[in-house]
Structure 1
Amino acid sequence: MSKRVITISREFGSGGRAIGKMVADKLGVKFYDRELIQLVAKESGFALDFVEETGEYSSTSSLLYNLSVGGIYTQGAFSPETLPPADKVQILQNNIIRELAEKEPCVIVGRSADYILRERTDCLNVFIHADMAHKVKRAVELYNISPKSPEKILAKKDKARASQYRRYTDQVWGMADNYHLTLDSGVFGLEKCCDIIVALAR
Protein backbone atom coordinates (compact mmCIF):
# COMPACT_ATOMS: atom_id res chain seq x y z
CA MET A 1 0.00 0.00 0.00
CA SER A 2 1.55 3.31 -1.08
CA LYS A 3 -0.36 5.28 1.57
CA ARG A 4 -0.06 3.77 5.06
CA VAL A 5 -2.46 6.17 6.78
CA ILE A 6 -5.80 7.49 5.55
CA THR A 7 -7.53 10.33 7.38
CA ILE A 8 -11.24 10.88 6.87
CA SER A 9 -12.73 14.28 7.65
CA ARG A 10 -16.47 14.52 7.11
CA GLU A 11 -19.59 16.60 7.34
CA PHE A 12 -22.09 15.32 9.89
CA GLY A 13 -24.45 12.87 8.23
CA SER A 14 -22.32 12.41 5.10
CA GLY A 15 -21.39 8.82 5.95
CA GLY A 16 -17.70 9.56 6.40
CA ARG A 17 -17.33 7.19 9.34
CA ALA A 18 -19.03 4.35 7.47
CA ILE A 19 -16.82 4.97 4.43
CA GLY A 20 -13.73 4.96 6.63
CA LYS A 21 -14.71 1.62 8.16
CA MET A 22 -15.31 0.13 4.71
CA VAL A 23 -11.91 1.36 3.52
CA ALA A 24 -10.15 -0.11 6.56
CA ASP A 25 -11.88 -3.46 6.06
CA LYS A 26 -10.96 -3.61 2.36
CA LEU A 27 -7.35 -2.70 3.01
CA GLY A 28 -7.10 -4.94 6.06
CA VAL A 29 -5.85 -2.16 8.35
CA LYS A 30 -6.83 -0.83 11.77
CA PHE A 31 -9.74 1.61 12.05
CA TYR A 32 -9.78 4.42 14.59
CA ASP A 33 -12.86 6.46 15.35
CA ARG A 34 -14.49 5.61 18.65
CA GLU A 35 -11.51 3.37 19.25
CA LEU A 36 -9.34 6.48 19.32
CA ILE A 37 -11.69 8.15 21.80
CA GLN A 38 -11.43 5.09 24.05
CA LEU A 39 -7.64 5.24 23.96
CA VAL A 40 -7.63 8.91 24.93
CA ALA A 41 -10.18 8.34 27.70
CA LYS A 42 -8.21 5.44 29.12
CA GLU A 43 -4.92 7.31 29.15
CA SER A 44 -6.36 10.62 30.38
CA GLY A 45 -8.76 9.24 32.97
CA PHE A 46 -11.57 11.47 31.69
CA ALA A 47 -15.07 10.20 30.93
CA LEU A 48 -15.65 8.82 27.44
CA ASP A 49 -18.43 11.33 26.67
CA PHE A 50 -16.23 14.25 27.72
CA VAL A 51 -13.37 13.09 25.50
CA GLU A 52 -15.73 12.53 22.56
CA GLU A 53 -17.11 16.07 22.69
CA THR A 54 -13.89 17.83 23.63
CA GLY A 55 -11.79 16.16 20.97
CA GLU A 56 -13.86 17.38 18.05
CA TYR A 57 -16.13 20.18 19.18
CA SER A 58 -14.09 22.13 21.72
CA SER A 59 -13.04 25.72 21.09
CA THR A 60 -10.07 26.60 23.24
CA SER A 61 -7.06 28.65 22.19
CA SER A 62 -4.88 27.34 19.39
CA LEU A 63 -1.72 28.27 21.34
CA LEU A 64 -1.44 25.01 23.24
CA TYR A 65 -2.19 23.02 20.12
CA ASN A 66 0.67 24.67 18.24
CA LEU A 67 2.99 24.11 21.17
CA SER A 68 2.07 20.44 21.35
CA VAL A 69 2.61 19.96 17.62
CA GLY A 70 6.06 21.47 18.01
CA GLY A 71 6.87 19.07 20.83
CA ILE A 72 7.32 21.81 23.43
CA TYR A 73 4.68 20.43 25.75
CA THR A 74 6.15 16.94 25.73
CA GLN A 75 9.58 18.36 26.54
CA GLY A 76 8.29 19.70 29.83
CA ALA A 77 7.82 23.41 29.09
CA PHE A 78 4.31 23.19 30.53
CA SER A 79 3.09 21.27 33.52
CA PRO A 80 0.06 19.03 32.86
CA GLU A 81 -1.39 20.11 36.19
CA THR A 82 -1.75 23.70 34.98
CA LEU A 83 -3.75 22.89 31.84
CA PRO A 84 -7.56 22.96 31.55
CA PRO A 85 -9.07 19.48 31.00
CA ALA A 86 -10.01 20.27 27.38
CA ASP A 87 -6.42 21.19 26.55
CA LYS A 88 -5.10 18.04 28.20
CA VAL A 89 -7.44 15.95 26.06
CA GLN A 90 -6.47 17.76 22.88
CA ILE A 91 -2.73 17.41 23.41
CA LEU A 92 -2.99 13.76 24.44
CA GLN A 93 -5.20 13.05 21.43
CA ASN A 94 -2.66 14.63 19.10
CA ASN A 95 0.16 12.55 20.55
CA ILE A 96 -1.84 9.33 20.26
CA ILE A 97 -2.75 10.04 16.63
CA ARG A 98 0.92 10.52 15.77
CA GLU A 99 1.82 7.32 17.63
CA LEU A 100 -0.84 5.32 15.80
CA ALA A 101 0.33 6.59 12.42
CA GLU A 102 3.90 5.65 13.26
CA LYS A 103 2.94 2.25 14.62
CA GLU A 104 0.91 0.72 11.77
CA PRO A 105 -1.21 1.31 8.66
CA CYS A 106 -4.63 2.62 9.66
CA VAL A 107 -7.68 4.74 8.91
CA ILE A 108 -8.36 7.64 11.29
CA VAL A 109 -11.68 9.48 11.31
CA GLY A 110 -11.91 13.15 12.31
CA ARG A 111 -9.99 14.74 15.19
CA SER A 112 -8.00 17.03 12.82
CA ALA A 113 -5.81 14.02 11.98
CA ASP A 114 -5.13 15.40 8.50
CA TYR A 115 -3.45 18.44 10.05
CA ILE A 116 -1.71 16.59 12.85
CA LEU A 117 -0.10 14.25 10.31
CA ARG A 118 0.42 16.91 7.64
CA GLU A 119 4.20 16.41 7.47
CA ARG A 120 3.93 12.72 6.67
CA THR A 121 4.24 11.75 3.02
CA ASP A 122 2.51 8.40 3.51
CA CYS A 123 -0.92 9.88 4.33
CA LEU A 124 -3.98 10.22 2.13
CA ASN A 125 -6.25 12.95 3.49
CA VAL A 126 -9.90 12.75 2.44
CA PHE A 127 -12.91 15.00 3.04
CA ILE A 128 -16.43 13.56 2.66
CA HIS A 129 -19.40 15.85 2.08
CA ALA A 130 -22.94 15.66 0.70
CA ASP A 131 -25.94 17.86 0.01
CA MET A 132 -28.26 18.60 2.91
CA ALA A 133 -31.03 16.27 1.71
CA HIS A 134 -28.75 13.23 1.78
CA LYS A 135 -27.28 14.19 5.15
CA VAL A 136 -30.68 14.79 6.72
CA LYS A 137 -32.01 11.43 5.52
CA ARG A 138 -29.02 9.60 6.95
CA ALA A 139 -28.98 11.54 10.23
CA VAL A 140 -32.68 11.01 10.89
CA GLU A 141 -32.51 7.30 10.08
CA LEU A 142 -29.27 6.41 11.85
CA TYR A 143 -28.67 8.98 14.58
CA ASN A 144 -32.18 9.64 15.87
CA ILE A 145 -31.98 13.29 14.86
CA SER A 146 -35.37 14.97 15.19
CA PRO A 147 -37.13 15.22 11.81
CA LYS A 148 -38.67 18.55 12.85
CA SER A 149 -35.59 20.72 12.25
CA PRO A 150 -32.69 18.43 11.28
CA GLU A 151 -31.02 21.03 9.06
CA LYS A 152 -30.34 23.28 12.05
CA ILE A 153 -28.89 20.42 14.08
CA LEU A 154 -26.60 19.29 11.25
CA ALA A 155 -25.50 22.86 10.55
CA LYS A 156 -24.69 23.36 14.23
CA LYS A 157 -22.60 20.19 14.33
CA ASP A 158 -20.61 21.17 11.27
CA LYS A 159 -20.17 24.74 12.52
CA ALA A 160 -18.70 23.40 15.76
CA ARG A 161 -16.33 21.11 13.86
CA ALA A 162 -15.26 23.95 11.58
CA SER A 163 -14.66 26.24 14.57
CA GLN A 164 -12.58 23.64 16.38
CA TYR A 165 -10.55 22.91 13.26
CA ARG A 166 -9.81 26.60 12.65
CA ARG A 167 -8.81 27.23 16.27
CA TYR A 168 -6.40 24.31 16.44
CA THR A 169 -5.03 24.41 12.90
CA ASP A 170 -5.58 27.98 11.66
CA GLN A 171 -6.99 26.34 8.52
CA VAL A 172 -10.43 26.21 6.94
CA TRP A 173 -12.26 22.93 7.56
CA GLY A 174 -13.55 21.43 4.31
CA MET A 175 -11.41 23.59 2.01
CA ALA A 176 -10.10 21.42 -0.83
CA ASP A 177 -6.56 22.75 -0.46
CA ASN A 178 -6.27 21.00 2.92
CA TYR A 179 -6.99 17.53 1.51
CA HIS A 180 -5.76 15.27 -1.24
CA LEU A 181 -9.28 14.22 -2.15
CA THR A 182 -12.83 15.45 -1.56
CA LEU A 183 -15.83 13.25 -2.37
CA ASP A 184 -19.57 13.89 -2.52
CA SER A 185 -21.10 10.80 -0.94
CA GLY A 186 -24.56 11.93 -1.99
CA VAL A 187 -23.53 11.72 -5.65
CA PHE A 188 -21.21 8.70 -5.62
CA GLY A 189 -22.67 6.68 -2.77
CA LEU A 190 -20.71 5.21 0.12
CA GLU A 191 -19.41 2.11 -1.67
CA LYS A 192 -18.08 4.06 -4.66
CA CYS A 193 -16.38 6.56 -2.36
CA CYS A 194 -14.76 3.62 -0.60
CA ASP A 195 -13.58 2.11 -3.89
CA ILE A 196 -12.02 5.41 -5.01
CA ILE A 197 -10.14 5.85 -1.74
CA VAL A 198 -8.92 2.25 -1.73
CA ALA A 199 -7.69 2.53 -5.33
CA LEU A 200 -5.75 5.70 -4.55
CA ALA A 201 -4.32 4.28 -1.33
CA ARG A 202 -2.98 1.25 -3.16
Structure 2
Amino acid sequence: MAKRIITISREFGSGGRFIGEEVAKKLGIAYYDKNIIGQIAEKSGLSPEYIQENAELSPKKGLFAYAFSGRDITGKSVEDMVYEAQRNIILELAEKEPCVIIGRNADYILKDRDDVLNVFIHGDMPEKIKRITGLYNVKEKEAVKMMADTDKRRRTNYNFYTDQNWGKASNYTLCLNSSQLGYDRCEMIIMECVK
Protein backbone atom coordinates (compact mmCIF):
# COMPACT_ATOMS: atom_id res chain seq x y z
CA MET A 1 0.00 0.00 0.00
CA ALA A 2 1.25 3.48 -0.84
CA LYS A 3 2.05 5.68 2.12
CA ARG A 4 -0.04 8.85 2.23
CA ILE A 5 1.04 10.10 5.65
CA ILE A 6 4.68 10.81 6.56
CA THR A 7 5.61 11.41 10.18
CA ILE A 8 9.01 12.87 10.94
CA SER A 9 10.57 12.68 14.37
CA ARG A 10 13.95 14.32 14.69
CA GLU A 11 16.88 15.27 16.83
CA PHE A 12 17.23 19.00 17.43
CA GLY A 13 19.56 20.44 14.80
CA SER A 14 19.30 17.52 12.37
CA GLY A 15 17.22 19.46 9.85
CA GLY A 16 14.22 17.14 10.18
CA ARG A 17 11.72 19.98 10.06
CA PHE A 18 13.34 21.43 6.92
CA ILE A 19 13.48 18.00 5.25
CA GLY A 20 9.81 17.37 6.06
CA GLU A 21 8.77 20.74 4.69
CA GLU A 22 10.67 20.14 1.43
CA VAL A 23 9.20 16.64 1.03
CA ALA A 24 5.68 18.05 1.47
CA LYS A 25 6.36 20.77 -1.14
CA LYS A 26 7.83 18.33 -3.65
CA LEU A 27 4.97 15.84 -3.19
CA GLY A 28 2.36 18.61 -3.22
CA ILE A 29 0.83 17.51 0.08
CA ALA A 30 -0.07 19.32 3.32
CA TYR A 31 2.60 20.07 5.91
CA TYR A 32 1.77 20.18 9.62
CA ASP A 33 4.09 21.37 12.32
CA LYS A 34 3.61 24.48 14.43
CA ASN A 35 0.64 25.41 12.27
CA ILE A 36 -1.56 22.97 14.24
CA ILE A 37 -0.93 24.75 17.54
CA GLY A 38 -4.03 26.91 17.10
CA GLN A 39 -6.21 23.85 16.56
CA ILE A 40 -4.76 22.11 19.63
CA ALA A 41 -5.29 25.27 21.70
CA GLU A 42 -8.89 25.54 20.56
CA LYS A 43 -9.63 21.88 21.37
CA SER A 44 -7.92 21.99 24.77
CA GLY A 45 -9.07 25.46 25.80
CA LEU A 46 -5.47 26.48 26.55
CA SER A 47 -3.52 29.40 25.09
CA PRO A 48 -1.50 28.93 21.88
CA GLU A 49 1.60 30.10 23.81
CA TYR A 50 1.14 27.31 26.36
CA ILE A 51 0.67 24.75 23.58
CA GLN A 52 3.76 26.03 21.75
CA GLU A 53 5.87 25.38 24.83
CA ASN A 54 4.29 22.15 26.07
CA ALA A 55 2.62 20.11 23.31
CA GLU A 56 5.72 18.32 22.10
CA LEU A 57 8.14 18.83 24.95
CA SER A 58 7.99 17.59 28.51
CA PRO A 59 8.11 20.04 31.40
CA LYS A 60 11.68 21.17 32.01
CA LYS A 61 11.66 19.27 35.30
CA GLY A 62 11.56 15.88 33.55
CA LEU A 63 9.60 12.66 33.98
CA PHE A 64 8.61 13.19 37.61
CA ALA A 65 6.91 16.42 36.60
CA TYR A 66 4.48 14.31 34.55
CA ALA A 67 3.94 11.69 37.21
CA PHE A 68 3.29 14.17 40.02
CA SER A 69 1.85 17.19 38.23
CA GLY A 70 -1.49 18.59 39.35
CA ARG A 71 -4.42 16.47 38.24
CA ASP A 72 -8.14 17.12 38.10
CA ILE A 73 -10.89 14.95 39.57
CA THR A 74 -10.60 12.51 36.64
CA GLY A 75 -6.85 12.10 37.25
CA LYS A 76 -5.83 14.07 34.15
CA SER A 77 -3.11 16.70 34.23
CA VAL A 78 -3.00 19.75 31.96
CA GLU A 79 -0.30 17.94 29.96
CA ASP A 80 -2.66 14.96 29.53
CA MET A 81 -5.38 17.27 28.19
CA VAL A 82 -2.93 18.88 25.76
CA TYR A 83 -1.77 15.46 24.59
CA GLU A 84 -5.35 14.24 24.08
CA ALA A 85 -6.26 17.35 22.05
CA GLN A 86 -3.08 16.96 19.99
CA ARG A 87 -3.82 13.27 19.43
CA ASN A 88 -7.34 14.00 18.18
CA ILE A 89 -6.09 16.70 15.78
CA ILE A 90 -3.44 14.36 14.33
CA LEU A 91 -6.02 11.57 13.84
CA GLU A 92 -8.34 14.04 12.06
CA LEU A 93 -5.54 15.34 9.80
CA ALA A 94 -4.54 11.80 8.81
CA GLU A 95 -8.14 11.04 7.85
CA LYS A 96 -8.55 14.28 5.93
CA GLU A 97 -5.62 14.34 3.48
CA PRO A 98 -2.14 13.11 2.58
CA CYS A 99 0.37 15.06 4.67
CA VAL A 100 3.69 15.35 6.44
CA ILE A 101 3.44 15.70 10.23
CA ILE A 102 6.46 16.84 12.21
CA GLY A 103 7.00 15.46 15.72
CA ARG A 104 4.20 15.46 18.30
CA ASN A 105 4.37 11.65 18.71
CA ALA A 106 2.48 11.31 15.40
CA ASP A 107 4.30 8.06 14.58
CA TYR A 108 2.83 6.45 17.69
CA ILE A 109 -0.59 8.10 17.42
CA LEU A 110 -0.96 6.74 13.86
CA LYS A 111 0.65 3.35 14.56
CA ASP A 112 -2.48 1.37 13.64
CA ARG A 113 -2.65 2.74 10.10
CA ASP A 114 -1.05 0.94 7.14
CA ASP A 115 -0.60 4.10 5.07
CA VAL A 116 1.98 5.82 7.30
CA LEU A 117 5.74 6.12 6.75
CA ASN A 118 7.47 6.87 10.08
CA VAL A 119 10.86 8.57 9.75
CA PHE A 120 13.46 9.49 12.36
CA ILE A 121 16.10 12.04 11.34
CA HIS A 122 19.30 12.25 13.35
CA GLY A 123 22.71 13.76 12.73
CA ASP A 124 26.31 14.00 13.80
CA MET A 125 27.12 16.38 16.65
CA PRO A 126 29.48 18.74 14.72
CA GLU A 127 26.92 19.21 11.93
CA LYS A 128 24.06 19.81 14.36
CA ILE A 129 26.11 22.32 16.36
CA LYS A 130 27.01 24.20 13.16
CA ARG A 131 23.37 24.30 12.10
CA ILE A 132 22.10 25.50 15.49
CA THR A 133 24.77 28.20 15.90
CA GLY A 134 23.85 29.52 12.45
CA LEU A 135 20.07 29.35 12.84
CA TYR A 136 19.83 30.71 16.37
CA ASN A 137 22.92 32.95 16.35
CA VAL A 138 24.34 31.35 19.51
CA LYS A 139 27.79 30.21 20.58
CA GLU A 140 28.78 26.53 20.39
CA LYS A 141 28.33 25.94 24.13
CA GLU A 142 24.77 27.33 24.02
CA ALA A 143 24.00 25.22 20.93
CA VAL A 144 25.08 22.05 22.76
CA LYS A 145 22.89 23.01 25.75
CA MET A 146 19.87 23.77 23.50
CA MET A 147 20.31 20.40 21.78
CA ALA A 148 20.58 18.45 25.03
CA ASP A 149 17.60 20.23 26.63
CA THR A 150 15.28 19.99 23.62
CA ASP A 151 16.07 16.34 22.87
CA LYS A 152 15.71 15.40 26.55
CA ARG A 153 12.27 17.06 26.70
CA ARG A 154 11.17 15.39 23.44
CA ARG A 155 12.42 12.01 24.70
CA THR A 156 10.65 12.39 28.07
CA ASN A 157 7.35 13.38 26.43
CA TYR A 158 7.54 10.56 23.87
CA ASN A 159 8.57 7.89 26.37
CA PHE A 160 5.86 8.96 28.83
CA TYR A 161 2.95 8.99 26.36
CA THR A 162 3.95 6.07 24.14
CA ASP A 163 5.63 3.54 26.42
CA GLN A 164 8.32 3.35 23.73
CA ASN A 165 11.83 4.78 23.44
CA TRP A 166 12.23 7.96 21.39
CA GLY A 167 14.79 7.52 18.63
CA LYS A 168 14.84 3.71 18.83
CA ALA A 169 15.14 2.39 15.27
CA SER A 170 12.45 -0.30 15.65
CA ASN A 171 9.80 2.40 16.25
CA TYR A 172 10.29 3.85 12.77
CA THR A 173 10.19 2.70 9.16
CA LEU A 174 13.29 4.73 8.28
CA CYS A 175 16.13 6.21 10.33
CA LEU A 176 18.25 8.66 8.35
CA ASN A 177 21.48 10.43 9.30
CA SER A 178 21.15 13.84 7.65
CA SER A 179 24.83 14.63 8.30
CA GLN A 180 25.98 11.58 6.34
CA LEU A 181 23.33 11.59 3.61
CA GLY A 182 22.66 15.30 3.19
CA TYR A 183 19.19 16.85 3.10
CA ASP A 184 18.56 16.27 -0.61
CA ARG A 185 19.26 12.56 -0.39
CA CYS A 186 17.13 12.23 2.76
CA GLU A 187 14.27 13.87 0.88
CA MET A 188 14.75 11.55 -2.12
CA ILE A 189 14.80 8.43 0.05
CA ILE A 190 11.62 9.47 1.87
CA MET A 191 9.83 10.25 -1.41
CA GLU A 192 10.95 6.93 -2.90
CA CYS A 193 9.56 5.08 0.13
CA VAL A 194 6.08 6.61 -0.10
CA LYS A 195 5.46 5.14 -3.57
TM-score (norm 2): 0.88
Q: Secondary structure at the match of 1:107?
A: strand
- C-alpha distance in 1, partners of 2:184/2:20? 10
Cα shift at 1:79: 7.8
Deviations 1:47-80 (A, max 9, x none): 222102211112524xxxxxxxxxxxxxxxx988
- C-alpha distance in 2, partners of 1:13/1:97? 24
Cα shift at 1:197: 0.2
* Percent identity for Structure 1 against Structure 2: 50
Q: Which runs of 4+ in 1 moved over 4 A?
A: none
- Aligned positions, number: 185
- C-alpha distance in 1, partners of 2:155/2:143? 18
Task: Find the counterpart in structure 2 of residue 70 from structure 1.
Answer: none
Q: Please point out which of 142, 151, 159 is paired with 1:149.
A: 142
Task: Find the counterpart in structure 1 of residue 104 from structure 2.
Answer: 111
Task: Find the counterpart in structure 2 of residue 121 from structure 1.
Answer: 114
Return closer, same or farther for 1:6/1:48 CA change in 2, 3 Å cut-off: same
Q: Calculate the aligned-residue CA RMSD, in Å.
A: 1.8
Pairing 1:20–2:34 present: no
| One-letter amino acid matched to 2:2 | S
- C-alpha distance in 2, partners of 1:8/1:19? 9
Pairing 1:44–2:44 present: yes
- C-alpha distance in 2, partners of 1:93/1:136? 30
Pairing 1:189–2:172 present: no
- C-alpha distance in 1, partners of 2:100/2:55? 17
Cα shift at 1:2: 1.0
Q: Secondary structure at the match of 1:149?
A: helix
Cα shift at 1:147: 3.0
Checking the alignment, whether the CA contact within 8 Å between 1:56 and 1:110 is kept in structure 2 is yes
Gap regions ≥5 residues in structure 1: 62-77
Q: Please point out which of 128, 138, 155 is paired with 1:135.
A: 128
Cα shift at 1:145: 3.7
Pairing 1:172–2:165 present: yes
Deviations 1:81-123 (A, max 9, x none): x743222111000011011101110000000000000010000
Task: Find the counterpart in structure 2 of residue 65 from structure 1.
Answer: none
| One-letter amino acid matched to 1:103 | K
TM-score (norm 1): 0.85
Gap regions ≥5 residues in structure 2: none
